[in-house]
Amino acid sequence: ARPILAIVGRPNVGKSTIFNRIIGDRLAIVEDKPGVTRDRLYGIGEWLDREFSVIDTGGIEVEGEDQIMKSVRVQAELAIEEADVIIFMVDAKAGVTSADQEVAQLLFRSRKPVVLAVNKVDNIQRQDEIYEFYSLGFGDPIGISGAHGIGIGDMLEAAAAHF
């Protein structure tokens, strides 16, 4: 069986952008989980000739802060169940938010391996924006940019160490 990598994080950090970068031109499969969430996207990625499954957990559309936190929580829990390694994605432009801190607590308790990816580090000048994310407690944050295709290899290398 392929190892499973799940991308977890609050809405709008860039999970789907990275998911699409990872799967490339391979098609994603949508799975509905009745009563829990919808639009879980499954795809296949490849790292150094090894295939892995990748899950984009962020397909749900919600309004209002309570709803957002609820869906983030549910998605994180599902990912924790299924994944061999989790990409915890945050947003360099937004900085650390309370939603990020809540996701961090869930991931801590899971004891699954977590790679902390700071998205929207679009150029080298922004690299110093990753440091505040050390406070989330998952070690070295990896700066990436889904928009510009920066750092994706470093992120996958760190994740593949847990395959």
Query: Phi/psi of residue 106, each to 5°?
Result: -60, -45
Q: Which of 14, 58, 143, 151 binds Mg ion (CB under 5 A)?
A: 58
Name the strand (E) or helix (H) holding 75: helix 65-82
Q: Which residues, in sequence order, are bridge partners of residue 7?
A: 56, 87
Interface residues with ligand GDP (CB under 6 A)? 9, 11-17, 58, 119-120, 122, 145-147
According to the annotation, is 20 in a ligand binding site? no
Tell me how many residues contact Mg ion (CB under 5 A).
3
Nearer to Mg ion, 16 or 71 (CB): 16
Distance of closest approach, residue 143 Cβ to ligand GDP, in angstroms: 10
The binder of 12, among Mg ion, ligand GDP, none, by C-beta within 5 to 8 A per type, is ligand GDP
Residue 1 is classified by DSSP as -
Is residue 86 within 8 A of residue 108, CB to CB? The reply is no
d(CA 91, CA 97): 9
Distance of closest approach, residue 21 Cβ to ligand GDP, in angstroms: 9
